[in-house]
Each structure stands twice: as structure tokens, then as C-alpha cells.
Amino acid sequence: MPDNDVIAAAKERLEQSGLPSTWLDIPVHWGVKAKEQATAENGGLRFQMLNVDVYGEVPEFWDNNTEIPRGAVPDTRTEQMGYSIFNKAEVWSDLCAELYEDAIADRWNSSSDVPWDSLEPIGADLERAVCQIATMMSEYGWTKAQTTGRWLQEISYGYIEVKLFLGTVVFDAARLFEVWRKRALANGGGLGRGGRNWKFLPLTQSYTFSEFCVASIMHDSMLLALLRRGEQLAQTEAERSIYRLCERDIERHLTYFVDHMRYLMLKEPVRREEIHRYMNKAEWYLAKDGDDTLYSAVAVIMGDGREGAQEAMADVAELRQEQIETYLGYLRQCHLADREDRLNLELRKWAGMVEPEAEEKIPV
Amino acid sequence: MVTADRLDELQMEPEAPELDLSWLNLDTEWGVVSEPGRKGLTLQQINKSIYGEIPATSEDSSARPRGAAAPEGATPRMTPWVLGDATETFSDSAALLYDEAVSRQWSSATDIPWDTLDELPEDIERAMVQLCTSLTEVEFIAGDVPGKWLPRIAADHYESGLFLMSQVMDEARHTDVFRKRALANGGGLLLQGGGGGLRQILEAEDFTQMSSMLHILGEGFVQSLFRLGELIAHNEAEKRIFRLAAQDESRHVAYGVTHLKYTLEHEPEKAEEVHWTLDMFEDTLVDPDQANPGLAGALVYLLGDGDVDEGWRLFWHVRRKQVLEYLHRLDVAGLGGRLETGRLHPALAGALDEN
């Protein structure tokens, strides 16, 4: 319990000196001792351990447009800071705090954690193909960091866990950008050709955070399926390591995006059709982008050079099928299994799925 | 019933993409090799040949990496506008500072010896959690600001973009670690700080003006304070927090100083604009109406360990150091003379008075 005599004496000393002492009058939720839960075995003092008492009450609607920390006492003179997201369902996932700490625990350094000395000459076609893939990975990293970063100024402190986690996404995306740039410039190749990137517009144009999330689920799923082919695509230990490290980061991002969408679908099922519209758009741009450079570079690697590339296109088709299946798999996890029936027709071809008209003819 | 065999019949082969090998014959620079050095393969080491040439202006609003060939066919504008002039965002040190940020990441969960937080006298614990309440607020805004600017950075000037991305991460950790300290030892969060100039940083529509406020003056003052964390801390956990946070702030300040230096070297006429911004921001920082009522009181109280007179004496020591370091940073950036010309706010100039 607070010791009133000690506080009264402190107030008196401050006031005699002309200093404000109102902060000592705040009714403190005394006795929150998060440190007691922190041990080396459970990962130290993790953010989730702070979420007790009033500090752990995450409101459905946050009604303060300043930077006030959740659980602090407002100073009503403070100007509004321009946030626009005050609705828990729009951003929340129960996993944010843990994912934030996981991201920090999994941190890596592209300068020193990739065995760059394992790079060796691999032949001109293969080097060009690796560098072409690297160029496009870099582009996605840049886009992902920019488009994630812009949401920070929209989300209020009520959902601090989300913002902390998004901070790690921005940083991971920076590393995605630069580790692949390094690969392109380390081994005698150089950067390849930039993508047309119409497909990224749904990320840059999103008006709501959840719209951004579903577009991210699509792009991250596509990327993840490609990264999971790292063992097959990597030419050296350095690349194997890059694929592995990036894969772990992207899986973490998807865990958040998917858990958030699951939360949104449970809390606001009325938004289902709206979300489908965002997916319609994201899939349309992906299907119509028409830039097959990335897949062609993959084919050159799988075919061990340009001569084998055409034959390798069957394997590339399988990869693209895996990408769509990965995407649909994540959507199933967030209660959007019905997307399978509404998937863009071009993407259905990528996945080798039965066409809707044919489905209707199946005798039951 | 639909049998599995029947479904298999209807399953199509996945459609293959078109094979396009035109990218195998690009006219980009070939033969660039970068070897890892003592610190591994850093950005500095790959910034060579055409890939290291930083364009003075860039009109490319796409995500195309600097040095890559342009795509064939129509491409979309990815962002409404970018800050295309290098003078608007660039810093010669950005790549180095990003590399350093990556190698110096730390964890507030495991790198702070939380078990050294002993029970503190209640007045001291309250003062510490009040300070941490104010700091978690300040750091929260400090993370929003670079996020706002990221979409406007040209990919051709990616070094500044990467630096700002690392700053977003650093500020997340600072927001987190001060909240952790407030809730770790029996105290709690206290009184909100009341803005104190944070809004001006957020609303700035010019990058250099924003950076002068955020990186040079705001974070500069915070860094000077953190470097004196020994005077405030009561245990090893708090000392470590201030030390690690100060290390991060040093990078942010260094970016601001080197960016301003780059800008003023190329556009000296911008000096007056920055002076004007600092006039406004200094005025806000010392305005009693804008002052954070908790921050000053808690800081004085902690500095004096409950002895308010001693706390005041040390507070002015801290403030003097903040102002001296601020002026030095401006000097290095090429914006010296604020004190000599009487432009420095009198309340800050007064802090330099030894008495």
C-alpha cells in the first residue's frame, strides 16, 4: 500500500521548490511487479508479462487521440496526434506481444550471420538468375517496409502491442531488402531487371488496415512458398542461409496477419464480403501483372542453365501451385475457407484447380 | 457421391508461366564482387561501381533497387510522390548507421538485468515510473514519425530508408523498455506528458525540418540525458536501460546531424528555414504551458535522490550539457552561431550560465 507520509513529504519539498507535484497525486495501481515473472527459462521480462491489472485491459474502442500510454492518467491539454484506428477488431491479434518478443529473439545480421565466404563462381546463367531473384526480393522488401511503416501513424497507443510488432516487420523487411541486394552484388553478378510490380498496388493503395493485411497474406504466402524451395534453389551455403532466415521472418509475419484476420472475422463477421472485395482486387493485380521474370529466373536455376529452363517450367508450375495452396491454406486458418470457391480464375489455373463451371457438373 | 478418382479426373495440370529469358541479356554492370571484411559484408562494401552512385535527383517512385534495369512495359506509380532530391533525405553516414543498428540490436526482455531491481523507497519509485511514463510516450511518437516518411523515400536513396527502418525498430524497443520499467517494480504508469512539442514533429511536412526537430534537438536532448543515466538510475537494470537507449539515440542524432550537413552543403539557402524551425521548436520546449508537469519534477527528484535542492543543481548541470551538445551538433552540421547571434532561446542560453 502507498505510504501517504512519504508522498506528502515529497510533495511538500517539490512545492517549496516551485516544481509541479500533481503527478504524485495520481492514484497508482500499486503493486504491479512484472519482474517477478521474468526468468531466464521463460525468456526474461517479456511484454506479455506487463499485461496485468488495468495495464492489460485492451479496450474494444480506444477513445484517446494522443500518445497517452495505456493505463496512464490523461493530461487533457494534450493536442490530438492524428491517429485514425481506435477499433480493436481492426488491428488486434492476441499473439502480437509474443511475436514481438520472438522477432527480437530471432534477430539476425545480414553482414555477419550469412556465410558470405561460401559464395563461389556458379556460371553466368545461374549467377544472373540468382541476381534476378535477388533484385525482385529486394523490391518486395522495400515495398513491404514502406507500406507497413505508413500504418504506424494511424494506430493509437491502445493497441501498443500491434505497433511494436509492426516495428519488427518494418525492420525485417529492411533486412529482406538489403540481404538480397548484398547477394546480388557479392558474387560477380549485379542487379537484374526491376519488376513491373502492378501486383504491389493493393499494398500501397489500401484504405483500411485489414485491407492491407489480406493483401499482405497473399504476397507473404507467395514469398513463403518460394523461400521454402530454398534448398532446391540455393547454389551455396550463403544462399541457403538467406532463404532460411527470411523464411522464419515471413512465417512470423503471416502468423500475425492470419491471427488478426481470424480475430476480425470473429468480431465483425459482417465485413466478410468487404474483405472478399479486397482479395478480389489483390488477386486481380497479381494475375494481371504479367511479369514472369521471377518464374523464368527460377526456371533457369531449376534447369541448371537457360538450355534446361523450358523443361523446368513444369517444376515452376508446381511451385506456383504451391504458392496458391499456401495462400488458400492461410485463408482457411482465418475462417476464409470460402475463398477457395471465389479465387480469381487465372490463379485457379496456376493452382490447377477445377474450374467453377466444371465443379457445378460434378454429380452428387 | 463424388469419388476421389472423379475429383482427380477434374483436377487440371497447373498452368506454367511464360518463359521469358530477355533478362539474361541485360546491360547492367557485370563482374562486381564484394568480399566480407572484419564486420562481415556491410552496406559500405557493396556500395561500389554504378551501384554505389547516388543520384542527386531521382524521379523513380517505384521500388526498383538502385542500379537495376528498368522493367519492360508499363509500370505503376507506387507512391503519390517521393522526395527525389538527395538533399531532402540523404546522409553520407546512413549506410554505416544502419549497419551499426543491425549489429547493436538488443532485447529488453533478456539484456536488462531485471533481477537487480530492488524495492525502492516509494517516492523514488514514483518518480522513476513518472519519468518512464513520459519517456514511453516520447518514444512512441519517435517511432510514428519515421514510419510516416518511409513511403516518401526514393529507392535510389535507399540508405536513408534503411536507416529510418532501423529507427522504427529502435523506438519500438524504447517504447517497450520504459513501459516495462514502469510496470516491473511495483509502481505503475502515472501522468501523461501533455505533448511538449511532439505534435510539431509529427505535423512537419518537410523532411529536413522534421529531422532537425526530432533527431537533432529532441533526440539530442534525450541522448544527453540518457548519457547521464548514472545520475538517475538506482540499480544496474536502470543503468543498463539508459546506456543501451543512449547508444541507439546516438545513431539517430548522428543521422540528423549528417543529413543536415549534407543538405546545407548542397543547399546553403536552406539554413534560414532550419533556423526558423528551431526557433519554433525551442520555444515550445521551454514554454511553461507546454511543459510536461511530471517530467521536470520527477527528473529533479531522481537527480537529487529526494533532495530537491540538490536535484535542481544537477538538473541545471544536465540542461547545460544538453544545450552545449546541441550547439556543438549544429556547429558540426554547418548551422553554427545560434548562441552568438542571439538566436538561441533565452531560456536555453540562460542554462549556459555557470551560476
Cell of A306: 537457360
ipTM value of the model? 0.96
Q: What is the largest CA-CA distance in chain A?
A: 89
Structural domain contains residue A126: yes
Q: Which residue of A has its CA nearest to B111?
A: A44
Structural domain contains residue A76: no
Cell of A177: 531488402
Whether residue A35 and residue B75 make contact (CB cut-off 8 A), yes or no, is no
Question: Is the pLDDT confidence value at A336 over 90?
Answer: yes
Q: Which residue has the higher pLDDT, B75 or A11?
A: A11
Q: Which residue of A has its CA nearest to B310?
A: A17
Chain A closest-CA separation from residue B286 CA (Å) = 14
Structural domain count of chain A: 1
Residue A363 pLDDT grade (very low, low, confident, very high; cuts 50, 70, 90): low
Structural domain contains residue A278: yes
Count of CB contacts below 8 A, A vs B?
Answer: 444
Question: Is the pLDDT confidence value at A364 over 60?
Answer: no
Q: What is the pLDDT of residue B195?
A: 74
Structural domain contains residue A143: yes
Residue A360 pLDDT grade (very low, low, confident, very high; cuts 50, 70, 90): low
DSSP per-residue string spanning B210-245: HHIIIIIIIHHHHHHHHHTHHHH-SSHHHHHHHHHH
- Burial (CB count <10 Å: 0-12, 13-18, 19+), residue B317: middle
Q: What is the pLDDT of residue B207?
A: 98
Q: Which residue of B has its CA nearest to A297?
A: B21
Measure the CA–CA gap between A209 and A57, rounded to whole angstroms. Answer: 22
Q: Which residue of A has its CA nearest to B177?
A: A47
Residue A32 pLDDT grade (very low, low, confident, very high; cuts 50, 70, 90): confident
Instruction: Provide the chain B residues 219-258 that lie in CB contact (below 8 A) with chain A.
Output: none
Any chain A CB within 8 A of the CB of B163?
A: no
Closest CA to A322 of A213, A226, A215, A216: A226
Q: What is the pLDDT of residue B125?
A: 95
Any chain B CB within 8 A of the CB of A4?
A: no
Q: What is the pLDDT of residue A361?
A: 61
What DSSP character marks residue A112?
T
Measure the CA–CA gap between B99 and B44, rounded to whole angstroms. Answer: 9
- Burial (CB count <10 Å: 0-12, 13-18, 19+), residue B119: exposed
Any chain A CB within 8 A of the CB of B31?
A: yes
Q: Which residue of B has its CA nearest to A323?
A: B14
Amino acid in the structure at residue B158: Y
Question: Is the pLDDT confidence value at B203 over 80?
Answer: yes
Amino acid in the structure at residue B321: K
Contacts of residue B68 in chain A, CB cutoff 8 Å? 135, 191-194
Q: What is the pLDDT of residue B38?
A: 93
Any chain A CB within 8 A of the CB of B110?
A: yes
Q: What is the pLDDT of residue A239?
A: 98
Across the interface, which of A75, A145, A293 has its CB nearest the CB of B165? A145
User: Where do we find the cell 543521422?
Assistant: B255
What DSSP character marks residue B23?
G
Of B99, B112, B140, which to mutate for an interface test with A (greatest number of A Cβ within 10 Å)?
A: B140
Structural domain contains residue A132: yes
Whether residue B17 and residue A75 make contact (CB cut-off 8 A), yes or no, is no
Residue B30 pLDDT grade (very low, low, confident, very high; cuts 50, 70, 90): confident
Any chain A CB within 8 A of the CB of B8?
A: no
Chain B closest-CA separation from residue A345 CA (Å) = 12
Across the interface, which of B6, B68, B129 has its CB nearest the CB of A193? B68
Q: Which residue of A has its CA nearest to B201?
A: A81
Q: What is the pLDDT of residue B27?
A: 82
- Burial (CB count <10 Å: 0-12, 13-18, 19+), residue B342: exposed
For the packed helices A4-16 and B308-333, what is the interaxial angle rounded to 10 degrees? 60
Contacts of residue B185 in chain A, CB cutoff 8 Å? 33, 35
What CATH number has the domain bearing residue A353?
A: 1.10.620.20
Q: What is the pLDDT of residue B264?
A: 98
Contacts of residue A299 in chain B, CB cutoff 8 Å? 19
Other beta carbons less than 10 A from residue A214's beta carbon: 28
Annotate A306-320 with three-state secondary structure. HHHHHHHHHHHHHHH
Q: Which residue of A has its CA nearest to B160?
A: A174
Any chain A CB within 8 A of the CB of B121?
A: yes
Instruction: Provide the chain A residues 261-300 that lie in CB contact (below 8 A) with chain B.
Output: 290-293, 295-297, 299-300
Whether residue B65 and residue A135 make contact (CB cut-off 8 A), yes or no, is yes
Closest CA to A123 of A174, A45, A188: A188
Instruction: Please check whether residue A29 is in contact with residue B299, taking contact to mean a CB–CB distance below 8 angstroms.
Output: no
Question: Is the pLDDT confidence value at B6 over 70?
Answer: no
Cell of A144: 513491404
Spell out the domains of chain B, with CATH numbers in brackets.
Answer: 93-350 (1.10.620.20)
Q: Which residue of B has its CA nearest to A64?
A: B192
Across the interface, which of B32, B76, B148 has its CB nearest the CB of A197? B76
What number is the average pLDDT over the span B25-42?
90
Structural domain contains residue A73: no
Question: Is the pLDDT confidence value at A1 over 60?
Answer: no
**Residue B33's beta-bridge partner residues?**
A187
Chain A closest-CA separation from residue B344 CA (Å) = 24
Measure the CA–CA gap between A227 and A155, rounded to whole angstroms. Answer: 31
Closest CA to A135 of A69, A220, A77, A192: A192
- Burial (CB count <10 Å: 0-12, 13-18, 19+), residue A244: middle
Whether residue A35 and residue B115 make contact (CB cut-off 8 A), yes or no, is yes
pLDDT in tens, B258-287: 999 999 999 999 999 999 999 999 999 998
Structural domain contains residue A121: yes
Q: What is the pLDDT of residue A59?
A: 97
What number is the average pLDDT over the span A345-361?
82
pLDDT in tens, B297-323: 999 999 999 999 999 999 999 999 999
Instruction: Please check whether residue A188 is in contact with residue A121, taking contact to mean a CB–CB distance below 8 angstroms.
Output: yes
Structural domain contains residue A354: yes
Any chain A CB within 8 A of the CB of B313?
A: no
Which residues constitute the domain of residue A288?
A: 88-360
Long-range contacts of B38-41 (CB under 8 A, 24+ apart): B39/A111, B39/A112, B39/B99, B39/B103, B40/A109, B40/A110, B40/A111, B40/A112, B40/A113, B40/A114, B40/A116, B41/A110, B41/A111, B41/A114, B41/A116, B41/A182, B41/A186
